[in-house]
Amino acid sequence: MNMLFRFAFIACATWAMLTACASHAPERTAEPSLKLSEGAKVGVFIGISPQPKQLHQGMTVAGNFVKTYPFNWGLEKDVRSTINEALKAQGLVPIDLNEAKLNAGYLTLQELPAIREQSGVQAIVVVKNVRSYIGLPVHQYADVPGVYSVRTWLRTSFTTVAPLQWNVWSLDGLGEDIATRPELAKQLNTLRQMRPEMWKGVEVADYEAITAAEFQPVKAIILRSVAQTAEQVARTLVAR
């Protein structure tokens, strides 16, 4: 009987200690939500090269080349339009920071208050190309959106290249880049390269001289990914 009493006493004491520790354990705080109201201004800065680039792997090393095409394929304009539409769908007002001559793509924390004062924006969305590793069969780096092509005896295959980095600055006094939050970072900045996708069903007359019209399908692939990300960013900015 004494042993049973002793066991019960020890069990009760242990339970009491665990309860006391749990009651004093610090609570985990969730990431603070942004609560931009309808009509809030959001700056948009796009730093994308207007000209597409082709990274080509030939059948021999002598056949390798890197080529920047001389025409504007409209990606920068369409990325801006896609982001603007996503912001408007959430009741936000996009402000063109490129037009305002604000170098928002290369901000420091110290510059955030001045940007807010000059433009009246409460957040800034930045999309720019950046040199990064792309997940292809060979070790390859890219710094401008375009295509990666591989020449074989039978055909030339093409894969999208989109080394785009996103920053989403909150100007609420914290100066936080919410693009680094777990729920956004994986999609926005994993290797700073959206998942490569084969450029399927496209006939290219000359793989060494792709035309502006022939580049349109790869632009559509990039814009589809940008649209998905922009929608997620816009929803995060107005999260309640």
- On average, the pLDDT of the chain sits at 78
Q: Cα(185)–Cα(128) distance, rounded to whole angstroms? A: 15
Tokens of 183: 């729920």
Contacts of residue 115, defined as CB under 8 A and 6 or more positions apart, other chains included, come to 43, 97, 102, 104, 107, 121, 124, 171
The helix (H) or strand (E) run that includes residue 158 is strand 156-161
Q: Cα(67)–Cα(211) distance, rounded to whole angstroms? A: 13
Q: Encode 215-229: b = buried (16+ Cβ within 10 Å), e = exposed.
A: beebbebbbebbbeb
Beta strands in 21-153 (DSSP E): 41-47, 53-57, 65-68, 93-96, 123-129, 132-135, 139-142, 146-151
**pLDDT tier at 171 (50, 70, 90 boundaries)?**
confident
Mean pLDDT across the stretch 209-215? Answer: 93
Q: Return the pLDDT at 9.
A: 43
- The residue type found at 100 is A
Q: Encode 154-179: b = buried (16+ Cβ within 10 Å), e = exposed.
A: eeebbbbbbbbbbbbbbbeeeebbbb
Quick: pLDDT tens for 53-101: 999 988 888 889 999 999 999 999 999 999 999 999 999 999 998 887 7
Mean pLDDT across the stretch 142-160? Answer: 86
Better-predicted residue by pLDDT, 53 or 181: 53
Closest to 137 in 3D by CA, of 119, 149, 120, 122:
149
Tokens of 210: 């792709």
Better-predicted residue by pLDDT, 21 or 63: 63
The helix (H) or strand (E) run that includes residue 18 is helix 2-24
Regarding pTM above 0.85, the answer is no
95: β partners:
43
